[in-house]
């Protein structure tokens, strides 16, 4: 189950958390459009509302009023092909002997099946096939024997893979980030409380201030009275495995991840793209919206080098068409690109055009765009991509298509150029990505562009040069 989602958790001093949770889910809507949900706790009991659909459709006006209590968590879920499935909508909630649990999960475990089997042998019954329920049952079991912090630590020593979690145990909200920090999670301060969120844009929406990222392997426990939080470094891995694609495509440009504004990182990647493979043309235009920051950095660097290239918004987007990516058939995907993007003829006619996008996955968008621009009279069409070739699937939470569907899985850049019928095509190098992100290659998850993963995945290779992380077991020296 590939879960690319948005999570949030809030503890407030003296008002219901439902409305701020609702607004933060709106801010995280780009991280998941399949379902939305909120679970709150009023000090006595849990209240839950989870529905399929966009945040605006999932909650009726009266729903928020039912979600009482100053503590709560929320979730938006990403649609993955073929799994439009109400059973996997979150937050996942259960009540058990020692209290209630709610869980919101962003990421993907690589050993959920194994733990599920062990727990099933011990008598646990599962209602979904998602990994979040596995985490919930494991934690519930540990909570029967240990305090909250030790129980979380024990669960972290058992689960492997990527996870940024917001959890509610009775009225206590917690945030946990996996030891390699694959998915983002940050802490924010509000006027009357604290918030944990996948991205800082959610904190901005609540007029709060970003405190910092949750560290890889760290547990953050918000005080239920909204006055503060405690943190515990439960697991210390030797290397991180931050997903570079969060910076390239997934996160909002106005979010800050690893102390860097995503917009500026994308502009820097655009500048690097010019340095590595800039080509003279009359006009540079972004593929909206994903290519915008890259194109502005690219054009700026080009002009600093005296190119004189014009930067133009030459492709207009129909914002009411859904994402082409999730259309079930190739024919529909092709039609959808045409519905979605239309060139401004005067920017294109008789000119050489460079279009810039963040990534090529199946190649549908670039293929259609090159054709579209030629039909609109472009003399030359050059394509520049702000990420390396995506050659392998993502197992860590981004729904990226299967290997067979990835255009770069078995084709050279020249073969791809020929297939999309561009005059030239260049991708950004992996080194340029790691230098723009300020991380060494060993600290990034680059599985989809190298085919080598920082996790053990059946049938796949692990990173050659990267030490496997040491997961410290329960009972090991910890700073809890």
Which member of 51, 146, 399, 452 binds ligand AMP (CB under 6 A)? 399
- Among residues 404 and 465, whose Cβ is nearest to ligand AMP? 404
Which member of 323, 345, 403, 468 binds ligand AMP (CB under 6 A)? 323
- Among residues 170 and 419, whose Cβ is nearest to ligand AMP? 419
Q: Which of the following is catalytic: 5, 88, 394, 448?
A: 5
Q: Would residue 445 show up in a list of annotated catalytic residues for this protein? A: no
- Among residues 235 and 285, whose Cβ is nearest to ligand AMP? 285
- 44-103 residues in contact with ligand AMP (CB under 6 A) are none
- Residue 139 CA neighbour count, 13 Å, CB half: 28
CA distance linking residue 269 with residue 290, whole number of Å = 13
Measured from the CB of residue 347, what is the shortest distance to ligand AMP in angstroms?
19
Which member of 55, 159, 165, 360 binds ligand AMP (CB under 6 A)? 360
Asked whether position 403 contacts ligand AMP by CB under 6 A, the answer is: no
Asked whether position 406 contacts ligand AMP by CB under 6 A, the answer is: no
Binding-site size, ligand AMP (CB under 6 A): 17
Asked whether position 359 contacts ligand AMP by CB under 6 A, the answer is: yes
CA distance linking residue 89 with residue 35, whole number of Å = 6
* φ, ψ (nearest 5 deg) of residue 164: -115, 120
The region of 46-54, 83-91, 375-383, 397-405 touching ligand AMP under the rule CB under 6 A is 397-405
* φ, ψ (nearest 5 deg) of residue 343: -80, 150
Which member of 103, 173, 201, 400 binds ligand AMP (CB under 6 A)? 400
Of 408, 410, 443, residue with least CA distance to 428: 408
Which member of 77, 154, 266, 362 binds ligand AMP (CB under 6 A)? 362
C-alpha radius of gyration, the chain, whole number = 23
Which member of 136, 190, 197, 287 binds ligand AMP (CB under 6 A)? 287
CA distance linking residue 363 with residue 324, whole number of Å = 12
Asked whether position 398 contacts ligand AMP by CB under 6 A, the answer is: yes
- Axis crossing angle, helix 364-375 with helix 330-340, rounded to the nearest 10: 50
- Among residues 413 and 478, whose Cβ is nearest to ligand AMP? 413
DSSP-based three-state secondary structure for 283: strand
- Among residues 30 and 215, whose Cβ is nearest to ligand AMP? 30
The DSSP result for 149-208, as a single string, is: HHHHHHHHHH--EEEEEEEEETTEEEEEE-TT--S--EEEEETTEEEEESSHHHHHHTT-
- Among residues 64 and 430, whose Cβ is nearest to ligand AMP? 430
Which member of 253, 288, 363, 377 binds ligand AMP (CB under 6 A)? 363
CB burial class (10 A; 0-12, 13-18, 19+) of residue 236? Answer: middle
The region of 24-32, 148-156, 181-189, 362-370 touching ligand AMP under the rule CB under 6 A is 362-370
Kindly report the number of other CB atoms within 10 A of residue 455's CB atom: 24
Measured from the CB of residue 175, what is the shortest distance to ligand AMP in angstroms?
24
- Residue 259 CA neighbour count, 13 Å, CB half: 3
CA distance linking residue 232 with residue 234, whole number of Å = 6
Measured from the CB of residue 84, what is the shortest distance to ligand AMP in angstroms?
15
User: Dihedral, CA atoms, 469, 475, 479, 480, nearest 10 degrees?
Assistant: 120
Which member of 93, 108, 290, 296 binds ligand AMP (CB under 6 A)? 290
- Helical segments of 254-354, H only: 262-277, 292-304, 330-340, 345-348
Which member of 249, 294, 298, 453 binds ligand AMP (CB under 6 A)? 249
- Among residues 110 and 361, whose Cβ is nearest to ligand AMP? 361
The DSSP result for 398-442, as a single string, is: -----GGG-TTSS--HHHHHHHHT-SEEEE--HHHHHHHHT--GG
Asked whether position 334 contacts ligand AMP by CB under 6 A, the answer is: no
* φ, ψ (nearest 5 deg) of residue 370: -60, -45
The region of 144-152, 297-305, 360-368, 374-382 touching ligand AMP under the rule CB under 6 A is 360-368
The region of 13-21, 36-44, 90-98, 392-400 touching ligand AMP under the rule CB under 6 A is 392-400
Beta strands in 78-138 (DSSP E): 92-96, 99-109
So which residues are the catalytic ones? Answer: 5
> Which residues contact ligand AMP (rule: CB under 6 A)?
249, 287, 290, 323, 325, 357-365, 398-400
């Amino acid at each position: 189950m590939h879960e690319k989602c948005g999570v949030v958790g809030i503890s407030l001093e003296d008002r219901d958390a439902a409305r701020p949770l609702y607004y933060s889910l709106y801010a995280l809507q780009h991280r998941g459009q399949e379902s939305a949900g909120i679970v709150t706790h009023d000090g006595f009991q849990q209240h839950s509302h989870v529905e399929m659909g966009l945040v605006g459709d999932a909650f009726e006006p009266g729903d928020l009023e039912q979600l009482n209590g100053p503590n709560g968590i929320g979730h938006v879920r990403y649609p993955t092909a073929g799994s439009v499935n109400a059973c996997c909508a979150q937050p996942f909630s259960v009540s058990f002997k020692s209290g209630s649990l709610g869980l919101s999960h962003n990421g993907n475990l690589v050993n959920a099946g194994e733990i599920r089997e062990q727990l099933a042998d011990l008598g646990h019954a599962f209602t979904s096939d998602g990994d979040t329920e596995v985490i919930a049952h494991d934690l519930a079991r540990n909570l029967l024997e240990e305090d909250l912090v030790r129980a979380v630590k024990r669960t972290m020593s058992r689960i492997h893979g990527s996870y940024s979690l917001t959890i509610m145990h009775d009225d206590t909200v917690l945030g946990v980030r996996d030891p390699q920090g694959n998915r983002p999670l940050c802490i924010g301060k509000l006027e009357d409380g604290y918030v944990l969120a996948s991205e800082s844009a959610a904190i901005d929406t609540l007029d709060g201030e970003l405190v910092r990222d949750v560290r890889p392997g760290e547990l953050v426990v918000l005080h239920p009275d909204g006055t503060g939080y405690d943190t515990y470094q439960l697991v210390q891995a030797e290397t991180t495995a931050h997903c570079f694609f969060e910076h390239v495509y997934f996160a909002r440009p106005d979010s800050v991840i690893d102390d860097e504004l995503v917009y500026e990182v994308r502009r820097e990647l655009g500048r690097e793209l010019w340095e590595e493979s800039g080509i003279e043309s009359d006009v540079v235009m972004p593929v909206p919206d994903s290519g915008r920051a890259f194109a502005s950095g690219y054009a700026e660097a080009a002009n600093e080098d005296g190119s004189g290239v014009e930067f133009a918004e030459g492709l207009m987007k129909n914002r009411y068409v859904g994402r082409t990516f999730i259309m079930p058939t190739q024919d529909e995907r092709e039609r959808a690109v045409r519905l979605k993007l239309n060139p401004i003829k005067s920017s294109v006619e008789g000119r050489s055009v460079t279009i810039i996008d963040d990534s090529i996955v199946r190649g549908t968008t670039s293929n259609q765009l090159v054709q579209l621009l030629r039909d609109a009279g472009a003399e030359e069409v050059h394509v520049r991509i702000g990420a390396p070739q995506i050659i392998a699937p993502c197992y860590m939470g981004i729904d990226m298509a299967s290997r067979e569907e990835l255009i770069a899985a078995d084709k050279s850049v020249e073969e791809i150029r020929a297939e999309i019928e561009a005059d030239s095509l260049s991708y950004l190098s992996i080194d340029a990505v790691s230098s723009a992100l300020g991380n060494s290659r060993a600290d990034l998850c680059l599985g989809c562009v190298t085919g080598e993963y920082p996790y053990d995945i059946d049938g796949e290779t692990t990173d050659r040069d990267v030490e496997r992380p040491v997961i410290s077991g329960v009972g090991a020296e910890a700073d809890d």
